[in-house]
Amino acid sequence: MNIVSQSHKLAQDIVKRQNEEALKSSFLKTQKDILASTHNVFRTAYYIAKNNRPYSDHPGLIELQMINGVNVGRVLHSNVTCTDIVHFISKEMREALLASIKVTRPKLTVLVDESTSLSKKSCLIVYLRTSVDSSEPVTFFLDLLELESTTADGIISQLLNCLQKYGLDDAFLKECLVGFCSDGASVMVGRKNGVYTKLRSKYPGLIGWHCLNHRLELSVSDAVKHCTETNHFTAFLDKLYCLYHQSPKNLRELDAAVSEVGVCLRKIGRVLGIRWVASSFRTVNAVWTMYAALYHHLTSASVDVNRSSNDRCMYEGLAAKLTSVAFVKNLGLMMDALEELKDLSEALQSRDIRLSQSVNLIKRQLDVFKTMSRNPDSGLFYKTACEAEQQGVFNGITLRNDPRQKIIDPTSFMQHYAKAWKQGWSQVKRNPSFKRSMFLIQRHGQALYH
C-alpha cells in the first residue's frame, strides 16, 4: 500500500501552484481591482463636470457608492483630487479631438470673446467650431488666454501661439481656417487695424462674422433708447433688484411671502442691461409670477414699526407703483416682447445652429414684431394685463390709476423694435462676409460653412 505523507502532499501543492504562476495571477488580479476602482472614481468626477456640479459633491458621492457596495478604492476621494481628475479628462479629450482634426483636416472656425478674470485681468476665451471624424460640426472650448496686451497685434499673437501649441500650425490654418467670429468691439472688427482685418491679410480666405447674439443685444439697446417710456419701468425693476439683492433680510421676508402665496421664489435681476436678453425675461417673468408676494411683502414692510420712517415711506411708494395700472400693462407688454426675443436669443446660442436656420429665425422675428406693432393685443400677457385693467384686479390685488405713471405705447414700442431689427438685419445682409458665406453654402453645402 502506497502511503503519501502530509508533507509530500504539501510539496506537490507548492509545485502545482508554482506551475500556475500564482504570484503573477495575484498581481494581475490586484491591478485589475485597482483599475476598476479608479474607473469608478473617474466616472464620478466626469459626472460632476458634465452636470456642472461643485467639486465638493465628490466626497459625498464616493461615500454613497461605498455604502451601495461599489468598489471605489481607498484614495482619490477628495474634492481637490476631483479637480485634478476633471482637468486630466478634459486634457485627454481635447488632445483626442485635435488629433482627429489634424488627421482629417476639416474646415474650421475660430470663435473668440474677451472677458475679465476675478483678478481684473483681460482674458480671451477661444472656441473652435468644426467637424470631428466627418460628423456634424460641433463647437467646443479650446483655451482661456490671459492677455498681456489688448491691442489687435497682442490678441493675434497670443491667439496664433495658442493654436500652434495644439498643433494647428500656419500651414494647417491656411488650408482649413475659413471663419472668425467675435463681438462688435472695434479692436475685433475694425476695418483698418482690427483683429479680423489683420488675420485676413494673413489668411485671405478668412470670413469674418459679427456674432448674431451681440447684434440682437445692440438692436434691443437701440429700440430701448428710442422708446424713452421704458426708463420708468426699468428704473422701478432696478430698484426691486437692489432691494432684494443687497438685503438678505428682505430676501428672507420675500421667501416667506412667496410660501404663503404658493408660488416659487425667483431671482430678480437687472433688465435691458449688459446681459443677454434672456436674463431680462427671467427678471420680468419673476415679477409677473411673484406679483402678489411682492405686494404683500412691500405692504407689510411699509407698516413695520421696526423700520425707520424713511424706509416705510419707500416701501409704501414701491407698493403704490406696483399696483398701478400703468405698471401692470407695461409689465405685460415687456413680457410679450422679451419672450419672443428670449426664444430667438436661445435659438441663436444653440451649438448646432446653422446660418440658413438663423436667417429664417430672424426673418420670422421681423414678421412677428411687425404683426405685434399692428395688433399689440395679440400678445398673451398684454391681453391679460388689459383684462386686469378692466376688472381692476390682477392676481388678487386691487389696481389703482396713477396719472404720474407713464404707460408705454404698445404700437410705438413694437414699431421701434421692428425698426431696430430691420436696420440691424440690413447691415448683416450688406456685409460682404454674409454674402460670401451664403454663396459658399449654396456652392459647397451646409456641412462646411454654417
Q: If residue 435 lies in a helix (H) or strand (E), which one and from where to where?
A: helix 432-444
- The confidence score (pLDDT) of residue 27 equals 56
Phi then psi dihedrals of residue 77, to 5 deg? -110, -5
The two counts, helices (H) then strands (E), for the chain are 20, 7
Work out the average pLDDT over 192-213.
85
C-alpha cell at 139: 463647437
pLDDT band per the 50, 70, 90 thresholds, residue 277: confident
Q: Where are the domains of the chain?
A: 29-88, 103-210, 216-449
13-22, 150-159, 190-199 — which is least confidently predicted? 13-22
pLDDT band per the 50, 70, 90 thresholds, residue 59: very high
The yes-or-no verdict on residue 66 having pLDDT over 60 is yes
pLDDT band per the 50, 70, 90 thresholds, residue 446: very low
C-alpha cell at 224: 430701448
Summarize pLDDT for 130-151 with one digit per residue, the tens. Answer: 888 877 888 888 888 888 888 8
CA 60 to CA 68: how far, in whole Å?
A: 12
Summarize pLDDT for 91-128 with one digit per residue, the tens. Answer: 898 888 888 888 888 888 899 988 887 777 888 999 99
In 303-379, which ranges are continuous DSSP H helix?
309-322, 325-348, 355-374
The yes-or-no verdict on residue 313 having pLDDT over 80 is yes
CA 383 to CA 297: how far, in whole Å?
A: 27
pTM: 0.71
CA 400 to CA 436: how far, in whole Å?
A: 56
CA 252 to CA 244: how far, in whole Å?
A: 9
- Find which of 21-35, 253-267, 342-356 is predicted with most confidence, using mean pLDDT: 342-356
Beta bridge partners of 271: none
- The confidence score (pLDDT) of residue 431 equals 61
The yes-or-no verdict on residue 447 having pLDDT over 50 is no
C-alpha cell at 98: 485635435
The yes-or-no verdict on residue 343 having pLDDT over 50 is yes
C-alpha cell at 326: 400703468
Q: Which amino acid is at 26?
A: S
The fraction of the chain above a pLDDT of 70, given in percent, is 86
- The confidence score (pLDDT) of residue 449 equals 40
The yes-or-no verdict on residue 227 having pLDDT over 70 is yes
Helices 291-302 and 248-261, axial angle in degrees (round to 10): 120
Whether the CB-CB separation of 223 and 417 falls below 8 Å is answered with yes
The yes-or-no verdict on residue 35 having pLDDT over 80 is yes
- The confidence score (pLDDT) of residue 85 equals 93
Whether the CB-CB separation of 415 and 373 falls below 8 Å is answered with yes
The yes-or-no verdict on residue 42 having pLDDT over 90 is yes
Work out the average pLDDT over 69-73.
87
- The confidence score (pLDDT) of residue 72 equals 87
pLDDT band per the 50, 70, 90 thresholds, residue 43: very high
Summarize pLDDT for 368-407 with one digit per residue, the tens. Answer: 877 877 777 777 888 888 888 888 888 888 888 877 777 8
CA 347 to CA 351: how far, in whole Å?
A: 9
**CA dihedral (305, 310, 315, 321) positive or negative:** positive
- The confidence score (pLDDT) of residue 448 equals 41
pLDDT top residue among 158 and 25: 158
- The confidence score (pLDDT) of residue 421 equals 65
